[in-house]
Amino acid sequence: MSIEERRQLLERYLPDPPQTSQGNTAATTSSKHKSGRRRRVRPFLKQKLYLFFYLAIQFIFGIYIRVRQIASAIFQKFIAVRHYHHRTPAYIQKDLKNLSRSPEHLSVILKFDSSADDGLETLLDEVAELSAWSASAGISLLSIYEKSGILKQYMSAVEEIVQQKLVLYFGAPPATPTLRVFAPNVPSIPPTRSTDTPATTNEVTNGENHYQLSGINLNLLLLSQSDGRDTLVDLTRTLTEMAQGHKLRPKDITVDLIDAEISAITSIPPPAETKPSKLNGHINGVQNLECTLPSEPDLLIVFAPYIKLDGYPPWQIRLTEIFCVGDSGGDVSGRQRTRVEYQAFLRALWSYAGAEFRFGS
């Protein structure tokens, strides 16, 4: 069929074309141009309006952040001037003497700056300062969590630097507190002062105030990311192998047993009397002993702009009071490292003393 024949065949099925004049056609074309112009103007206005609100919110939030940083810096400076330890335990005890309670086990999360040339030296100095402050405050157990575990590789250096810092604060032995350094999966370092040496009293006089510092023992526990999830995996593997080797009955694997074994990570054995755990030995290289010191931290201090646990063993902080130092360094992005300062240590202990604990019914 030709084109004309096909057109005539289809015309009978097509509707009649609308009867419009030339004027109506021109009006319709004009209205289309106007509506198209309106459709192009409205998105442009909306875009500018959204941009205005975005810039306004960003400007207001930027002012708020700067004001908060300035206020925090002024407050920190005020506390630093009014309360300073002067490397004297008497001053630290004076700052904390009116607290209703203090933690027996203090835990701190620190960050190792591998990009800095003096990153390790700074980290060791912070550990030493925290140890001296804790010993002065009467805290018997201090656990330091550093994600990479570099402190475990330099346990001897940690022990030496902390001991030097304690001598700087308390004086030469025997006035220096007894120091014991522990780390899971690593052989412990014996006490720096013999337990047979009688405890002496270090008397410090500060004007009208008189303090006695006697029988102070400091236990330092070093933790890393491998003591969290990896330890739980190793514990599961060990229990499975013992059950398959008929060394342990499956029904003996209870919640209490697992809780006792994973709690041994942040537990410090007493210096004299010890008692083996139910597994009669070592699991994951950690000697499981019945301890007199608390295994779970009472207070966890996070030296960061915001709370970031970085793989901290979660089963150890079920009832722990967590204190975040905040953006005292003027950075809220987390890229910069928050400094370990005495006023932040004080604020954490003040916050812990005023906290209200609700354990449920």
Output phi, psi for 47, to 5 deg. -60, -45
d(CA 145, CA 142): 10
Q: Where are the alpha helices (DSSP H) in 174-317?
A: 229-244, 255-263
Domain assignments of the chain as residue spans, ordered by start: 83-224+325-354
Strands ordered across the beta sheet of 217-223: 186-189, 178-183, 217-223, 141-146, 105-110, 299-302, 321-324
Q: What is the mean pLDDT of residues 107-135?
A: 90
**Token pair of 41, please?**
């103007």
pLDDT beyond 80 at 74: yes
- Distance in Å from the first CA to the final CA of the chain: 92
Average confidence score pLDDT of the chain: 77
What percent of the chain clears pLDDT 90, i.e. is strictly above it?
21
d(CA 328, CA 32): 61
d(CA 170, CA 87): 8
- pLDDT tens for 8-45 read 888 878 777 766 555 555 555 556 555 555 567 788 88
d(CA 55, CA 81): 39
The answer to whether 139 and 102 are in contact (CB under 8 A) is yes
pLDDT of residue 265: 62
pLDDT beyond 60 at 165: yes
d(CA 263, CA 313): 10
In which band, very low, low, confident or very high, does the pLDDT at 130 lie, cut at 50, 70 and 90? very high
Instruction: Choose the weakest-confidence range: 52-66, 122-136, 192-206.
Output: 192-206
pLDDT beyond 90 at 58: yes
pLDDT beyond 60 at 286: no
pLDDT of residue 192: 65
The answer to whether 166 and 242 are in contact (CB under 8 A) is no
Instruction: Choose the weakest-confidence range: 22-31, 114-123, 225-234.
Output: 22-31
Q: What is the mean pLDDT of residues 56-60?
A: 95
User: How many other CB atoms sit within 10 Å of the CB of residue 131?
Assistant: 26
